[in-house]
Amino acid sequence: MSTSPGADATAAPSGHPLTEDEVRRLREDFPILRADVHGHPLVYLDSGATAQRPLAVLDAEREFATTLNAAVHRGAHTLAAEATEVFEDARATLARFVGADEGEIVWTSNATEALNLIAYSMSNASLGRGGSAADRFRLGEGDEIVTTEMEHHANLIPWQELAARTGATLRVIPLDDDGALRLDAAAEIIGERTKLLAFTHVSNVLGVINPVDTLVAAARAVGALVVLDACQSAPHLPLDVRTLDIDFAVISGHKMLGPTGIGALYGRRELLEAMPPFLTGGSMITTVTTTAAEYLPPPQRFEAGTQRVSQAVALAAAIDYLSDVGMPRIAAHEAELGRHLVDGLTAIEGVRVLGSGIALPRVGLASFDVEGIHSHDVGQFLDDLGIAVRVGHHCAQPLHRRLGIISSTRASTYLYTTRAEVDAVIDGVSRAIEFFRRGA
């Protein structure tokens, strides 16, 4: 049974797609897109792994390093005060982008750390840390954590470990034969024992936009916390955490035109205030003795040590860039490219596009299996043509195993991707099949 679209306000693009002229002008902001690979113009279709950065982002990080570089929240001198101001301005920029308050954004090194922050904080609460305020985060035997069979390993392994540390049970919502979440099974699995539901907004393998409203409603009915992996949605769709009614969300900076080494956790203010810390040390304390410490309120409570200041400033520049283009228009552009990509690939004999039968809107991403040809061979052939794609299990082994394969080739678009580039990968796959079958 494939899922059907819900009423999620961000489920389907509502803007007008970018025109070819607009995309062409945007590409001028990305110097790397003018590169050649093996004598061919670079066709970059691996934005789902890491997005390219425009000059505005590169310039923002360099300007901070050359004019404002100083430790934040520590020094009393002018440079430190100015660095702190731009650092907190970056937090405010991200908060506006996702519809949150500034105090609800915690900087992390990446989305994986953000998910581990939640898991380890709940583990610490289960050991009695945090006092009575942390009661709702405590887990033990009989409690259940629920995730799905389509998750990136970063949204699976932390919950496996949390279950192992606390004695709770991890339950997994299965997929149907197309790869869609089985909402009938979800309704049975999410019950009165469920303490936390963690799932991806957009699958990094299938490209489908999951029905957040349906899953959140099931969690709310039993009082469970909701964690949303927004790594593949925040860069590509309008995202409002209040509208989605989620408790936590994680994002990855390098997937949304920003630098590596920066990610963020959104958490409802009242939840962050009740959570015990994960990492401890300097910058997250008020008073320290040799035997005990008192901690700052969030978000600083969860930001121990030296912070990722220049990266946060660069991520804010990336968010400003995306906002200036317009997230509804980016979403519409990628939805159009995604349909063209899926249609073109499915028309090739011997190509199976994963999730193509799911009746849900999708972003501009498609993973596919070519009958009789390993994904690494397909990827290498495309690379020889200057086409960059991702190959492997995409950190989603359970999903691939459920669909009966061990790996796939993934092409993923972004605001700077042209229709001609999508045509290039479709043609490249056809040529790869011809090449390998001729040599067989």
pLDDT at 337 over 90: yes
- Note whether 34 and 130 are same-domain residues: no
Please indicate, yes or no, if residue 12 is contained in any of the structural domains. Answer: no
pLDDT tens digits, one per residue of 210-251? 999 999 999 999 999 999 999 999 999 999 999 999 999 999
Average pLDDT over residues 296-322: 97
Of residues 269, 227, 248, 259, the one with CA closest to residue 109: 259
- Domain of residue 215: give its range: 57-323
Residue 1 is predicted with a pLDDT of 34
Q: What is the pTM of this model?
A: 0.95
pLDDT at 165 over 90: yes
pLDDT at 439 over 90: no
Peptide bond into 398 cis (omega under 30): no
pLDDT tens digits, one per residue of 76-115? 899 999 999 999 999 999 999 999 999 999 999 999 999 9
Of residues 387, 373, 385, the one with CA closest to residue 436: 373
Average pLDDT over residues 23-33: 98
Which residues are known to be catalytic? 395
- Note whether 31 and 105 are same-domain residues: no
- Note whether 257 and 369 are same-domain residues: no
- Note whether 278 and 133 are same-domain residues: yes
Of residues 405, 349, 408, the one with CA closest to residue 177: 405
Residue 12 is predicted with a pLDDT of 52
pLDDT at 7 over 50: no
Residue with tokens 């520590």: 74
Residue 428 is predicted with a pLDDT of 98
- Note whether 414 and 377 are same-domain residues: yes
Domain CATH number, residue 401: 3.90.1150.10
Residue 14 is predicted with a pLDDT of 66
Residue 426 is predicted with a pLDDT of 98
pLDDT at 431 over 80: yes
Residue 440 is predicted with a pLDDT of 58
Please indicate, yes or no, if residue 15 is contained in any of the structural domains. Answer: no
- Note whether 46 and 193 are same-domain residues: no
* Boundary (domain end) residue, out of 293, 323, 353: 323
Residue with tokens 């193509």: 356
For 269-321, give the secondary structure using H, E and C: HHHHHHCCCCCCCCCCEEEECCCCEEECCCCHHHCCCCCCHHHHHHHHHHHHH
Please indicate, yes or no, if residue 206 is contained in any of the structural domains. Answer: yes
- Note whether 74 and 103 are same-domain residues: yes
pLDDT at 9 over 60: no
Residue 315 is predicted with a pLDDT of 98
pLDDT tens digits, one per residue of 142-160? 999 999 999 999 999 999 9
